[in-house]
Structure 1
């Protein structure tokens, strides 16, 4: 049986909520004025926090949107952490489909933010660097989760390759979707594209085909 995840403390929840408020403020201002036309001071004011609070959590205005960009990866990892060891390909596909589904208006809004930020990142190297850093962090956090799911006899190199491929599948799917006007669910959606990318990238991996 999997061990229950440790619940975050009240302080940690408050910190995460403040970071998300700042991230949403940054994304809203980026959408209206672009990253170049947005300052850290404006983001802090829009979020209702002091500038020193902004810099307590984030190094730059682009860095502030990290919590929004990492939300999908956190949902996916949580689903995998709750899964039992077994058929890894099916487990990965099920988790990615659920993580990128749109069950409510709040999730739909998150996808709207993500699309706008990824489009802006095409022309902003600092914002693009934040996106790449979010994905690198996701891959590293995914490693121990996949190691447990794969079992003690799994080759560590194959597990690492699976973590990299799975992370890139979601990254490429979201980037491809953001460049279109496809809806957040149904044909051409992030979930559909991510499953397609996952199958393409992992099709020849022994860990995911045996």
Structure 2
């Protein structure tokens, strides 16, 4: 079954408006379900965990859980979306006169990682050994691609479906994923790792991407 698109999880209110109370409650419940799913997946394994167990851990009915998520593995999507949303939010502050590498170098010591980062990193580590979770992780990035494409198109004045913009968005998307996976592996035993340490991983990934294909 196809995962729900990343943009559907964003459910942003119009610019400048605060999301409604119902939207905030829905987002909070989804995030809580995602955290409990990761906790159970970590402690007893993905195969041994049922959707019913996740629902009980959160204190909701199974019917409520399945209304929000099509599969038990897809329960983790809000956490993965939070990490991608963090990256996109950072990029929205990218000054038009500054290139991407300079922007991330300048902001390395000033950012904060998103809430729930230790749980997000534990989840990303699991995606390397759990095929079903890997599928959710890759789907989240696939759904993020048009978001990055539109952001780059707005910046360049081009079209989001232009091939060059699409390739640039895919390159940036790949660098974000590689940096997140590297950060998750390197700091598995350091739950208090900082944004500066993540930015160092991202800096290496972006520099590699900017080199092109030297083969």
Match of 2:163 among 157, 160, 172: 157
Give the SS at the match of 2:186.
coil
Quote the residue 2:73 is aligned against: 62
Give the SS at the match of 2:24.
helix
* 2:38 equivalent to 1:27: yes
- 1:169-188 map, 5 Å: 169-181=175-187, 183=190, 184-185=193-194
Match of 2:122 among 100, 116, 121: 116
Q: How many residues align?
A: 197
Runs of 4+ in 1 over 6 A off after TM superposition: none
Cα distance 1:141–1:114, how it changes in 2: closer, same or farther (>3 A)? Answer: same
* 2:50 equivalent to 1:39: yes
Give 1:40 shift.
0.3
Match of 1:76 among 77, 80, 87: 87
Give 1:96 shift.
8.2
Quote the residue 2:208 is aligned against: 200
Cα distance 1:53–1:118, how it changes in 2: closer, same or farther (>3 A)? Answer: same
5+ residue gaps, structure 2, are: 1-13
Give the SS at the match of 2:129.
coil
Whether contact under 8 Å (1:96, 1:195) holds in the other structure is no
Give 1:6 shift.
4.8
Whether contact under 8 Å (1:79, 1:95) holds in the other structure is no
Give the SS at the match of 1:86.
coil
Match of 2:199 among 191, 194, 197: 191
TM-score by length of 2: 0.78
Give the SS at the match of 1:149.
helix
Partner Cα distance (1:40, 1:154) in 2 = 38
Q: Aligned-residue CA RMSD in angstroms? A: 3.0
Cα displacement string for residues 108-148 of structure 1 (whole angstroms, at most 9, x for unaligned residues) = xx222122212222221111100001111122212111111
